[in-house]
Amino acid sequence: MAGRAAVAAWLGGDTSRAVTTTAVRFTLEELADVAPGNAVEVRVPPAGAVQAVAGPRHTRGTPPNVVELDTATWLGLVTGRLRWADAVADGRVHASGERSDLSALLPLQAARERR
C-alpha cells in the first residue's frame, strides 16, 4: 500500500526524495510483474533498477537491452502524464537494444493517473 500511496502523493505534487524513491521502486516492481523476464534492464538512478520483459536472459556485463531515465521521466511515463515517444524524442529516455521500447507497457495500470 505504501507504493500506491507514494504514487498518489507524487501525482499530488509531493516530489520529496522519500516519496519519489518509493513510487519509483513500486512502479519498477509493477513493470516486472506485468512484463516478467530478464531481457531488458530498466534503470532509474538513484532510485532503483529492474530486469523485465521476456526474451534472452542476461547474466554478465552490460545487458544488450537497457532503458535509463530519471525519476521524474519514469513517473511521468508510468502514470500517463508523459508519452514514451515524446520522452524519447526529447532525449529524456536512453534506450538501446531491440526490446527496449516499453511504449506498449506504459502507462502502468496501478500507477495510471485517475482523470
* Residue 94: per-residue pLDDT: 96
**pLDDT at 91 exceeding the cut of 90:** yes
Residue 18, CA atoms < 13 Å, CB-side half-sphere: 2
Helices 17-34 and 2-11, interaxial angle, to 10°? 120
Q: What is the pLDDT of residue 110?
A: 76
Contact 65, 97 (CB under 8 A): yes
pLDDT confidence band for 27 (50 / 70 / 90): very high
pLDDT digits (tens, 9 = 90+) for 61-80: 667 899 999 999 999 999 99
Residue spans of the domains in the chain: they are 2-105
Q: What is the pLDDT of residues 28-45, one digit of tens each?
A: 999 999 999 989 999 999
Domain at 2-105: CATH architecture? 2-Layer Sandwich (3.30)
> CB under 8 Å to 58, separation ≥6 — which residues?
38, 39, 41, 51, 64, 65
